[in-house]
Amino acid sequence: MKGYTSDTIRNVALVGHGGCGKTTFLESALLATGVINRLGKVEDGNTVSDYDKMEIEKGYS
């Protein structure tokens, strides 16, 4: 596993009610900044933040 130092780690928290669009917002921000090259959809189970099998099945992170 790659080692990281504290000066290169950035933590971000997106807080809101369930279903308010946090995952969609994150996907849009990652696309706009060039981190990803396609917009994932919660319904399709292909978003960056939903990578666990249970998250994909339930549609919640």
- The two tokens of residue 31 are 């696309």
Q: Which pTM value belongs to this model?
A: 0.73
Q: CA-to-CA distance for 35 and 44, rounded, in angstroms? A: 20
DSSP 8-state assignment for residue 59: T
Q: Looking at per-residue confidence, does 29 or 44 come out higher?
A: 29
What is the pLDDT, as a whole number, of residue 61? 66
Q: What is the pLDDT of residues 4-40, one digit of tens each?
A: 888 888 888 999 998 899 999 999 999 999 999 999 9
Question: What is the sign of the dihedral through the CA atoms of 57, 19, 15 and 11?
Answer: positive
What is the pLDDT, as a whole number, of residue 29? 94
Q: Looking at per-residue confidence, does 56 or 13 come out higher?
A: 13
